[in-house]
Structure 1
Amino acid sequence: MQLLKDKVVFLTGGTEGIGFECAKVFRAAGAQLSIIANCHESIERANEKLNGDDVLYVKADVSKGDEIKNAIEKTVERFGKINVIHNNAGISDPSKPLHETTEEEWGRLFDVNVKGLYNTTRYGINELIKTKGNILSTSSITAEIGQDIHAAYTATKGAINSLTKSMSIDYAHLGIRVNAIAPAGVWTPMLRNWSSQQPDPSSIEKYLDNIHLLGYCPEADVIADACLFLISEQARFITGCIMPVSAGAELGYRTNK
């Protein structure tokens, strides 16, 4: 069964990591894709593996409203509609406590992780009203439990969670669902880059395996499968949900590791 047959998904940050795994899973489920990324090279790499008349790539920075407005217009021009907006684009740098985070670093985190969601909603909501579509954002369990040397990053994910809940209330009468997915660790290029920045990079793989109750840090396909569920009609009665896909990493300390 193709859960996304005849659906059009507007996917930001869809050329690598969680986003690219989502792109593959969504397409296999029957969706047409508009994949947004701000790096020409990453678009080229993704296009080598995932291309066709059912996939549109648009180079755009989610933090810039005019570029997202243009990307929305190009998507509708190509496919005629938008059923789903998946706000997946995000950054995690820097690995610093709050007082060491520069104003530029703070601004960039919020521009990409939070303003990006604002821009896609502002310019895409009218299309979702037409299709009674839905919005999904990629958050993190760190929004709820915190994370050392990442105060600014976790603040952006907390903002995503709050927006998800408030937007679900605002748009429910329009038939629009709004949800978020909250991973713990996931092996992506961004996580590998993050690992190299930590005080003891050699210990990170074991650490990431241990924080997940099921004993390993997953690849991004496990997140993509959960995202597929949330944007499909299988989740038609779910809105305002922050769904952890974390193997129980947020459940607390363990003595029997």
Structure 2
Amino acid sequence: MLLLADKVVFLTGGTEGIGFECAKAYQQAGARLCIISNDSESIHRAKTQLESNATVFFLADVANAAQVQKAIAHCLAVFGKIDVIHNNAGISSPSKALHETTEQEWKKLFEVNVGGIHHTTLHGIEALKKSGGSILNTGSLVGEIGQEIHAAYTATKGAVNALTKSMALDYAPFGIRVNAVAPAGVITPLLRSWSQQQPDPDLAEEYLNNIHALGYCPEGDVIADACLFLISDMARFITGCILPVSGGAELGYKKLSSKQNHFHDL
């Protein structure tokens, strides 16, 4: 039996990276999908691989409450219900220390990474109450342990962790589960952008492999498999969980080498 048979999943940021891998996994598991992205080009690319009568795309920015409201309404109009909201959309730039982060950069990170969860919940919670559905947030291991020269981003992911636990308590009386998945490094366009912002980009690949106890930086499919489990009925008694899918990185997250140390001349 397909794990997501007859389930409707509202997935933000589902056209590239981890989100795209999740979209493929959910579709293969029998879900009907409403995929949200703010990038029309990535929507076009994703359509070529995910085209199906059971999958629709909607151009929207999760930082914009009105656009999210329209996307939720569109999903309900097409499929009649929502069983899962997966808040995957996020940004990671800039890779900077806090004192180097501009007010505009700070606000943008929080508007997308945290505000997006607020907006989908604000406009989608009533549908989830009817379906007894679940919410999944894409977090990050750095929200728990921090990361050098990435302060604002890690702050947003720490907020995602706290939100996930509080939401799990608030919505448990309605039978709604709320969990988060917390990767370490995953090979995605966001990670490649982060790598290019490091003091020595040429060493970034080696660093990313070495931080994982299992010895390599994975592709997004390993995260998608964990996400599929968390939104399926196999995880029906799991809520408020921040699940690390990190290759053991939290067991001893390694520092950047001295050549990469951004603060050596301060």
| TM-score using structure 1 length | 0.98
**What is the match of residue 78 of structure 1?**
78
Corresponding position of 1:218: 218
Corresponding residue for residue 108 of structure 1: 108
| Equivalent in the alignment of 1:229 | 229
Who is 1:10 aligned against?
A: 10
Tell me the equivalent position of 1:147.
Answer: 147
Distance 1:22 1:100 in 2: 34
Distance 2:252 2:93 in 1: 25
Q: Which moved more, 1:47-56 or 1:101-110?
A: 47-56
Q: Distance in 1 between matches of 2:70 and 2:32?
A: 18
For residue 113 of structure 1, report the CA deviation from its aligned partner: 0.1
Mapped to 2, the partners of 1:253 and 1:55 lie a distance apart of 38
Give deviations 1:211-241, integer Å, cap 9, x for gaps.
Answer: 1111100000000000000000000000000
* Number of the residue aligned with 1:65: 65
> What secondary structure, in the 3-state scheme, does the structure 2 residue paired with 1:94 have?
coil
Instruction: Give the aligned residue type for 2:72.
Output: I
Is the counterpart of residue 193 in structure 1 residue 193 in structure 2?
Answer: yes
Determine the structure 2 residue equivalent to 1:35: 35
Deviation at 1:52, TM superposition (A): 1.5
d(CA) in 2 for partners of 1:187, 1:162: 25
CA distance in 2, matches of 1:14, 1:72: 15
Q: CA deviation at 1:252?
A: 1.7
Residue 179 (structure 1) aligns with: 179
- AA in 1 matched with 2:86: H
Amino acid at match of 1:49: Q
Structure 1: stretches of 5+ with no match in the other structure: none
Match of 1:206 in 2: 206
| 1:193 counterpart letter in structure 2 | S
Amino acid at match of 1:78: V
**Offset, 1:161:** 0.4
What SS does the aligned partner of 2:149 have?
A: coil
* d(CA) in 1 for partners of 2:8, 2:137: 16
Q: Is the 8 A contact 2:38 2:60 kept in 1?
A: yes
Partner of 2:263: none
Gaps of 5+ in 2: 255-266
Whole-angstrom CA distance in 2 between matches of 1:187 and 1:147: 17
Shift of 1:33: 0.3
Equivalenced residue count is: 254
Q: CA shift at 1:253, angstroms? A: 5.8
CA distance in 2 between counterparts of 1:206 and 1:35 reads: 33
Equivalent residue number for residue 137 of structure 1: 137
| Shift in alpha-carbon separation, 1:101–1:234, aligned structure 2, 3 A | same
| 1:33-77 per-position Cα deviation (integer Å, ceiling 9, x unaligned) | 000000111100100111111001000000111000000000000
Misfit runs of 4+, over 6 Å: none
CA distance in 1, matches of 2:60, 2:122: 16
Which residue in 2 is equivalent to 1:157?
157
AA aligned opposite 1:4: L
Q: Identity of counterpart residues, as a percentage?
A: 66
